[in-house]
Chains A and B, each alone.
Chain A
Amino acid sequence: KAGVTQTPRYLIKTRGQQVTLSCSPISGHRSVSWYQQTPGQGLQFLFEYFSETQRNKGNFPGRFSGRQFSNSRSEMNVSTLELGDSALYLCASSLTAGVNNEQFFGPGTRLTVL
């Protein structure tokens, strides 16, 4: 079974632009979560989706948004990019949104904002 895939793997943008990152979960998984990883702040939760509904949202500004499609694929969008948005963005999928469900992580998208 294929793992979680994220596209693109690397991205360079300039301040003020917007970006869309994509995540394809493991087949059969219906829950997708997104995390931002930076050297300073570590790993921080962005959002969690289950069956196209956002279940949880982390403490990030409204410039960060996401959605999930009927095939469980998910996208996150960051508008008006800032230098501080440079990070590794990780996506994780699980069978359901249950607390005890193991989350399987993708390789991440490395976003650099210049």
Chain B
Amino acid sequence: AQTVTQSQPEMSVQEAETVTLSCTYDTSESDYYLFWYKQPPSRQMILVIRQEAYKQQNATENRFSVNFQKAAKSFSLKISDSQLGDAAMYFCAYRSINTPLVFGKGTRLSVIA
């Protein structure tokens, strides 16, 4: 079964600084999608960024970018110019045609003013 591991239960970053959240996954499939979701204290989960495994180019969405290392099965999220509104739980997730969304345990990010 596919598994997703987030090794950092909690992280903190100073406002305007950059932070990287780690994620590794285990799979024997070659075609899949990886996602980062954000869950603010209000609980509504929102998609931050997604990466298709067959695309070598790392995905970028404004201040959010990923470092996708397919061979190492690593998918980290970089948040640049951190803002107070970035404080939330961040979940890394995996999905394929054979596997519904599988989430990691999450990383709680605090942003210090």
Name A residues whose Cβ lies closer than 8 Å to a Cβ of B.
Answer: 3, 33, 35, 42-45, 48, 56, 58, 88, 90, 92, 99-100, 102-108
Contacts and interface: CB of A to CB of B under 8 A. Distances in A.
Contacts, number: 45
B103 A42 contact: yes
A42 B44 contact: no
A23 B50 CA distance: 25
Interface in B54-101: 91, 95-97, 100-101
Closest 10 CB pairs of A and B: A105-B45, A43-B103, A45-B100, A42-B105, A56-B100, A107-B44, A99-B97, A102-B47, A108-B43, A99-B95
B52 interface: yes
B102 interface: yes
A26 B106 CA distance: 26
A43 B105 CA distance: 7
Contact of A99 (B42, B46, B96, B105): B96
The majority secondary structure among interface residues of chain B is strand
B45 A90 contact: yes
Contacts of A58: 100
A107 B33 CA distance: 24
A88 B43 contact: yes
B101 A100 contact: no
B49 to A, nearest CB: 11
A103 B106 contact: no
A45 B44 contact: no
A45 B102 contact: yes
A106 B100 CA distance: 18
A67 B24 CA distance: 34
